[in-house]
Amino acid sequence: MNKNYSSPTTVRCGNAEFCWGERTYIMGIINVSPDSFSGDGLGGDIEAIVKQAKRFIAEGADIIDVGGESTRPDSKPITADEELRRVIPAIERLASEIDAPISIDTGKSAVAIRAIRAGAVMVNDVWGLKHDRQIARVAADAGVPIVITSNQRQEPCEDDIVAEVISDLKRSIILAKEYGVAEENIIVDPGIGFGKSVEQNLELIRRLAELKSLGRPILLGTSRKSVIGLVLDLPPDERLEGTAATVAIGITNGADIIRVHDVKQMARVCRMSDAITRRSKDEC
């Protein structure tokens, strides 16, 4: 089991405690946007959102990630007010009905702070503090974990993508600490699909272990991504096996959290992969 973490190796997230290296944790995706790239957007159907979250937890999800703005490359940005209108009712209801930690998937500090007040206990910023640095302040003030993603959509990388992602994440980690985020509350995400070519995405998964040099837990989000569709020539709803392959290889290379749409199937992939790659379930 890889021990390349700064002390401590555990983090509190709401009522849950994550012990990095013990096993792979699962983040289930709840899209409340009407235009999700994967076609699973639930919009404002609160009952469907609660039903899906409860099903995810029963299937093995450790975290429920709620997002109100599509992150597909051709999506149009929405205002903070519109994003709040989408996510806050969902988070408030989920917080009253589930025990699992709720994460808010947003790049806006105004949304993050309201989401935390509504019951979210983790912030997932796909822009890695590039769009709104105050998200780090929100996470610091609330004392909640924050996921920072390496996103190259504004500045594509023409060189070694792994070196660029590591350098980019180092800058975001430093910035998060400057805003008061405790080191143990920082989680990194290489940003599969965010401004990277097919070859670069595959290279990142292949060399994911190199991100361990950052000393922080790694979240990997490959679920139904276009890299899988382009390799296999399949639409989003037929990318289950491709996702499973990336998850298994990602875990072998050091992923600590996987962010997925298909929780039941990926939970099985995680259990099998963990049985092979983790030396002891009791050691932490």
Dump pLDDT digits (tens) for 32-87: 987 555 445 566 789 999 999 999 999 999 999 999 998 777 778 899 999 999 99
Q: How many CB atoms lie within 10 A of CB 152?
A: 18
Q: Residues 7-36: pLDDT tens digits?
A: 448 999 999 999 999 999 999 999 998 755
Question: For the ranges 41-55, 127-141, 160-174, 178-192, which has the lowest average pLDDT?
Answer: 41-55
Which one from 23, 114, 224, 259 is the annotated catalytic residue?
259
- What the chain holds in terms of domains, given with CATH numbers, is 24-275 (3.20.20.20)
Q: Does residue 282 have a pLDDT over 80?
A: no
Give the active site residue among 177, 225, 268, 271: 225
- Write down the mean pLDDT value for the chain: 92
Q: Provide the pLDDT for residue 243.
A: 98
The pTM assigned to this predicted structure is 0.92
User: What does each C-alpha distance from 173 to 38, 133, 182, 185 come to in angstroms?
Assistant: 30, 12, 10, 10
| Residue 264 designated active-site | no
Phi/psi of residue 171, nearest 5 degrees: -60, -40
167 DSSP 8-state letter: H
Calpha distance 100→82 (Å, rounded): 26
Active site annotation includes 281: no
* 3 state DSSP class of 106: coil
Sign of the C-alpha dihedral, residues 6, 127, 81, 89? negative
Max mean pLDDT range (2-11, 151-160, 187-196): 187-196
H or E segment to which residue 47 belongs: helix 46-59
CB 88 within 8 A of CB 111: no
CB neighbours of residue 46 within 10 Å: 15
Strand 25-31 to strand 219-220: parallel, antiparallel, or no bridges (unpaired)?
A: unpaired
Give yes or no for residue 273 having a pLDDT over 70: yes
Q: How far apart are alpha carbons 147 and 13 in whole angstroms?
A: 12
Please state, for a pLDDT cut of 90, what percent of the chain lies above it.
Answer: 84
Q: How far is the first Cα of the chain from the last one, in angstroms, to the nearest whole number?
A: 9
